[in-house]
Amino acid sequence: MKKKLIIANWKMNLSIRQGVKNIQTLYRECAKKKSKNTLVLCPDFTTLSCVSHFLKEKKKLFSLGAQDCFYESRGTYTGEISPQNLKELGCDYVIIGHSERRMILQESSDTISKKIHQAIFCGLIPIVCVGEQKLLSQKQGNNFLEKQILVSLNHISLSPSQSIVIAYEPVWAIGTGTSYHASCDPILLKTKIDFLKTIMLKKFGVHLAKRVSYIYGGSVTSKTSHAFIKEGTADGLLVGTASLDLKEFNEIIDSIV
Ligand code: PGA
């Protein structure tokens, strides 16, 4: 199987002490695994700076990602997070446009588009989240997704060494816990990924489209993870709640071999 992306989004759930402890535990466990997949851990900003210190001299067993960044790298922007500094901390990835930010902080696709540009400029791989707020008819859902993608990726260009990740995260499937039926059906996921691929190819051309990975997020558990990859054709997973439980998260990692 092609190398898959498994991304943990810890959101704002852990204390710094818990986050650092989880990273140290996962580091020891990853050292024992033979997984060829790419594991990305996205703790909150305060934890990121502590773990980057811990990981500095060590062999790279996983990548670090941030949960957001600002659309400028330097300047008088009180409270914002520079993508350039994230790169300096050792991040390779940054989540942009998560539905919690779109809804709670009213982040628009225009703002998200600027963040994506700046993240790419700073050498980060953006994990761009898209997804409908509620279950819609196929036509309505596709129209919604197309608009979200086109505005978010407005004027995007990638050099041959750059890539982006599109995370299909239907909002209705996020944070529902461990119920299989509350997450997206893998067959429905396949139709969404096919649609996103068609849009990317049509609007951005073959050179850009081939540097995009399509992943799924929304109540992923160790029981459903394999199906999203196999039947859902996802290139990877964005895992929230289940990534906080290290036993469960390890089972997710082991389910994708
Ligand atoms: P969840 O979160 O796995 O708890 O649904 C996923 C996400 O919000 O990225």
- Active site includes 98? yes
How distant, in Å, are the alpha carbons of 95, 120, 161 from that of 70? 11, 12, 22
Q: pLDDT per residue over 186-215, tens digit each?
A: 999 999 999 999 999 998 999 999 899 999
Q: Give residue 209 CA to ligand 1 midpoint distance, Å.
A: 25
Taking residues 3-7, report their average pLDDT. Answer: 96
Say how many Å lie between the CA of residue 129 and the centre of ligand 1.
Answer: 11
**Is 169 annotated as catalytic?**
yes
Mutate to test the pocket of ligand 1, among 165, 172, 183, 238 (most ligand atoms within 8 A of CB): 238
The angle, 0 to 180 degrees and rounded to 10, between the axes of the packed helices 16-32 and 246-255 is 40
**Binding pocket residue ranges, ligand 1, CB within 6 Å:** 9, 169, 174-175, 217-220, 238-242
35-56 pLDDT, tens digit per residue, is 889 999 999 999 999 998 888 8
In DSSP notation, 29-70 reads HHHH----SEEEEE--HHHHHHHHHHHTTS--SSEEEES---
Return the pLDDT at 181.
54
CA quadruple 235, 112, 104, 169: dihedral, nearest 10? -20
Instruction: Tell how far the Cα of 139 is from the centroid of ligand 1, in angstroms.
Output: 25
Does residue 179 register a pLDDT over 80?
A: no
Please provide the average confidence, as pLDDT, over all residues in the chain. 93
By the 8 A CB rule, do 64 and 23 touch?
no
Q: How far apart are CA 236 and CA 226, in angstroms?
A: 10
- At 36 the pLDDT is 87
State pLDDT tens for residues 158-169.
998 999 999 999
Q: Residue range 115-125: average pLDDT?
A: 97
pLDDT of 180 higher than 70:
no
Please give the pLDDT value at position 134: 86
Take atom 2 of ligand 1 and give the residue whose Cα is closest.
Answer: 240
15, containing H or E segment:
none
Active-site option among 29, 98, 107, 251: 98
pLDDT band at 183 (very low <50, low <70, confident <90, very high): confident
Distance, in Å, from the CA atom of 236 to the CA atom of 38, rounded to the nearest integer, reads 9
In the beta sheet, which residues pair with residue 41?
A: 8, 64
Residue 4 in this model has a pLDDT that exceeds 90: yes
- Atom in ligand 1 nearest the alpha carbon of residue 217: 6
177 pLDDT band, cuts 50/70/90, is: low
pLDDT exceeds 60 at position 178: no
Where residue 155 falls among pLDDT bands split at 50, 70, 90?
confident
Q: pLDDT-derived band of residue 7, with 50, 70 and 90 as boundaries?
A: very high
Q: What pTM value is reported for the model?
A: 0.95
- Name the phi and psi angles at 243, rounded to 5: -80, -10
The CA distance from 215 to 10, in Å, is: 17
Tokens representing 80 are 């914002």
The residue from 107, 132, 169, 248 that is catalytic is: 169
pLDDT, one tens digit per residue, over 8-35 is 999 999 999 999 999 999 999 999 988 8
